[in-house]
Amino acid sequence: MRGRELLLRRLMPLLVLLVVATTAAPAAEIPAIAAAADLKFALSEIATQFKRETGRELRLSFGSSGNFTRQIEQGAPFEMFLSADENYIFRLAEQGRTVDRGRLYALGQVGLFVPHGSQLRVDAELADLRAALQEGRIKRFAIANPEHAPYGRAARALLESTGLWDSIEAHLVLGENAAQAMQFAASGASQGGIVPLALALAPEIARRGQFILLPAAWYARDPLRQRMVLLKSAGDSAAAFYAYLLQPAAREILARYGFVEPPESE
Amino acid sequence: MMDWTAVILSLKLALATQLVLLPPAIFCARWLALTTFRGKAWIEGVLALPLVLPPTVIGYYLLVAMGGNSPLGRWFEALSGQTLAFSFTGLVVASALINIPFAVQPAQRAFEAISLEIHESAKCCGLTFWQTFRRIELPLAWPGILSAAVMTFAHTLGEFGVVLMVGGNIPGETQTVAISIYDRVQSFDFSTAGAMSLLLLGISLVTIAISYGMADRLMRRRRL
C-alpha cells in the first residue's frame, strides 16, 4: 500500500504537467487550407515563403479533391480550397459554401514515371508500356483513384485514349490521391505510374526514377483545370494567401513545379 | 525531425479520451463484474464490437452520425458554431467510443478478481457503497484500471482508419501522429516518418509491458 501511494505521489506532478502541456492549444485562428495532393511540394514552399514575408501561418492539408469536397460539404472547417478539378469548386459554389466561383490558378499535367530498376523503359509514345503489357512485364501500375481524384481521371482518360486501358486495368494499383499514386510509382513497388508532373519534379522523387511528360491532348476529356476558392468561413490570413498565390513570387514557384499558367481570359 | 504538432495533438487526444472514457468505463466494468442477468452477454458483446468491426465501418457510422446533416451534428453546430466531424471534439467522441473495450475489459477482469467474501465483509463492517468502492474495490482493482488507462492511451495514439475518416487530416486539429506518418510517407519524408514510427513503437512496447505486468499482479493476487 505504501509503495503504491508513493508511486502515485511521484507520478502525479508528471501527469499534471502532461495535461497542462498538452492542453495549451495551438492557435486555432491559423486557417486550415485544403489542397489537391499534386500541390504537396509547391504549396508547402509557397506557404513557407508567405510566412517569411507576412508572418502569417497556415495549416495545409493535402488529399484528393473529391475527398475534400465531400468533407467540406459535411462541414469540414477549411477556409480555402485548391482543387485539381474546377468542377468540384463549381459544385461547392452552387451550394453557396464559397465566396465566389474562385480563380483558375494552373493547368495540371501528367506523365509516365518509371522507378529505377523497373523492367519498363520510358518513351514519349508509350511504345514500351504497350509492349511490356503484352509481354507480361507489368505486374503493378499506379494511378490515383479515378473515383475521387482528378489526376486519376486524367490518367484513365489518357490510358483509354491511347488504347491501353483494357490491358492495364487488371494491373492497376489505385492511390487514394495523386501523392499516394506517386509514392506507389516511385517506391519501386510498381513498375510505373501515370503521375502529376508537379510531384515528379520534386527532388525527393526525381532521383528515384525517370519521368516523361505526356501530351495534354491524350487526356483532354478530363483536363486538370485547377481552381482555388475562398470558403465562406475564410478569414484575413486565408484571403491574404489567396491573393498571394496570384503574385509573381508564388507564380514563379508554381511554374518551377510545372504548373502551366492558365490563359489570361480565365 | 519530428512533427511535434501531431505528437502533441495525439497526446492531447489520448488524455482527453482517458478523461472522458475511464470514469464511466470503470463503473460499467464494476457493474458487469458484480452482476449476472439474462442478456448480459449481449451487452458485453456490444461493448466489445469495436474490437472486431473494421475501423472504416465505425468511421462510416460516426461520420453519418456526426456530419452536418445529422441531428447530433446540427445540435453540436448550433451549440458551438463548429461541426462535430472534422473537429478535435469529434475525434474525442470517436476515440472514446472505439476505446470502450480497451477500457472496460481490463477493469472488468480486475473487479471480477475481488472475492465475494471481501464484499460481504465490507458490508458487515457497515461501509456504504462509496466507502466500499473507494477504500476497498478501487485499491484492489487498480492494476486493471491502470492497464485500462494505458491501453486506451496507446490505442488512441495508434488509431488510424477512424481518425482519417472522421477527422480529415487537418494539422493541429485532427492530424494525429498516425495520420502524419501516412502523410509523410506519401511525400517521401522518410526521416520524419521513421522518427515518429519509432516513437509510437516505443510507446506501444512500454504499454504492453505495463499492462502485462499489471495482469501478472492481478493473477498473483488471485492466487493469494
| Helix, strand or coil, per DSSP, at residue B222 | helix
pLDDT single digits (tens) B42-60 = 999 999 999 999 999 999 9
Please indicate if any CB of chain A lies within 8 Å of the CB of B168: yes
Residue from A83, A79, A58, A59 nearest A69 by CA: A83
Residues A71 and A160 in one domain: no
Asked if residue A18 is part of any domain, the answer here is no
At residue A172, the pLDDT reads 93
Is residue A81 a part of any domain in this protein? Answer: yes
Q: Do B68 and A61 touch (CB under 8 A)?
A: no
B161 touches chain A (CB under 8 A): no
Residue of chain B whose Cα is closest to the Cα of A1:
B139
CATH number at residue B185: 1.10.3720.10
pLDDT at res. B31: 95
Across-strand partners of A104? A227
Task: Clarify whether residues A102 and A136 are in a common domain.
Answer: no
- Residue B184 · residue B198 · CB < 8 Å: no
Do A121 and A62 share a structural domain? no
The predicted-structure confidence for B161-187, as pLDDT tens digits, reads as follows: 999 888 878 888 899 999 999 988 887
Beta strands A103-107 and A225-230 are: antiparallel
Return the closest-CA partner of residue B163 out of B66, B219, B91, B220.
Answer: B91
Which pLDDT score, from 0 to 100, does residue B224 have? 57
| Structure letter (DSSP) for residue A259 | P
Domain count within chain A? 2
Residue A111, SS3? strand
Q: Nearest-CA residue of chain B relative to A202?
A: B187
Pair A118, A203 in one domain: yes
- The SS3 call for residue A230 is strand
Q: In this complex, is the C-beta atom of B188 within 8 Å of any C-beta atom belonging to chain A?
A: yes
Tell me whether residue A158 is in a domain: yes
- Chain B within 8 Å of A36 (Cβ-Cβ)? no
On whether residue A42 sits in a domain, the answer given is: yes
Residues A230, A103 share a domain: yes
- Cell readout for B202 is 516505443
Residue A177 amino acid letter: N
Closest-CA residue to A63 (of B187, B216, B135): B187
- For residue B90, how many other CB atoms are within 10 A of its CB? 26
Rounded to whole angstroms, the Cα distance separating A36 from A139 reads 28
If asked whether residues A121 and A97 sit together in one domain, one would say no
Q: A213 and A124 in one domain?
A: yes
User: How confident is the model over B87-104, as a mean pLDDT?
Assistant: 95
Q: What are the cell numbers at A115?
A: 522507378
The pTM for the full model equals 0.81
Count: domains in chain B? 1
The answer to whether the CB atoms of A205 and B188 lie below 8 A apart is yes
Rounded to an integer, what distance in angstroms lies between the CA atom of residue B77 and that of residue B21? Answer: 23
Instruction: Check the CA dihedral A190-B199-B86-A77 and report its sign.
Output: negative
A125 in the same domain as A202: yes
In a domain, A146, yes or no: yes
pLDDT at A26: 47
* Residue A159 falls inside a structural domain: yes
Question: Which residues pair with residue A175 across a beta bridge?
Answer: A144
Could you tell me the residue range of the domain that residue A145 belongs to?
110-219
Assigned domain for A175 exists: yes
Q: Is B169 left (phi over 0), alpha (psi -120 to 50) or beta?
A: left
Neighboring chain B residues of A32 at a CB cutoff of 8 Å: 170-171, 173
> From A22, which residue of chain B is nearest by alpha-carbon distance?
B12
Same domain, A197 and A151: yes
Q: Does B44 touch chain A (CB under 8 A)?
A: no
The answer to whether the Cβ–Cβ distance between A61 and B168 falls below 8 Å is yes
The verdict on residue A17 lying in a domain is no
**Among candidates A71, A189, A233, which has minimal Cα distance to B84?**
A71
Residue B74: predicted pLDDT: 85
pLDDT tens per residue across span B50-90: 999 999 999 999 988 887 778 888 888 888 877 788 889 99
Check if the interface score ipTM surpasses 0.85: no
Q: What is the pLDDT of residues B205-215, one digit of tens each?
A: 998 898 888 87
* One-character DSSP codes across B157-220: HH--HHHHHHH---TTTT--HHHHHHHHHHTT-HHHHHHHHHHHHHHHHHHHHHHHHHHHHHHH
Q: What are phi and psi of B63, to 5 degrees?
A: -65, -40
Segment B105-113 shows an average pLDDT of 94
Question: What letter would DSSP give residue A174?
Answer: E
- Claim to verify: residue A100 and residue A161 sit in the same structural domain: no
> Are A179 and A160 members of one domain?
yes
Task: Read off the pLDDT of residues B119-164 as tens digits, 9 standing for 90 and up.
Answer: 889 889 989 999 999 999 999 999 899 999 999 999 999 899 999 8
CATH number at residue A157: 3.40.190.10
Domain range for B79 = 4-223
Give residues with Cβ within 8 angstroms of A196, minimum separation 6.
Answer: A37, A38, A108, A109, A110, A151, A178, A182
Residue A96 and residue A121 in one domain: no
> Which chain B residues touch A19 with a CB distance below 8 Å?
15
Residue B79 touches chain A, beta carbons under 8 Å? no
Mean pLDDT by 10 residues, chain A (266 residues): 56 58 56 94 95 95 93 91 96 95 94 92 92 91 93 96 94 92 90 95 92 95 95 94 94 93 66
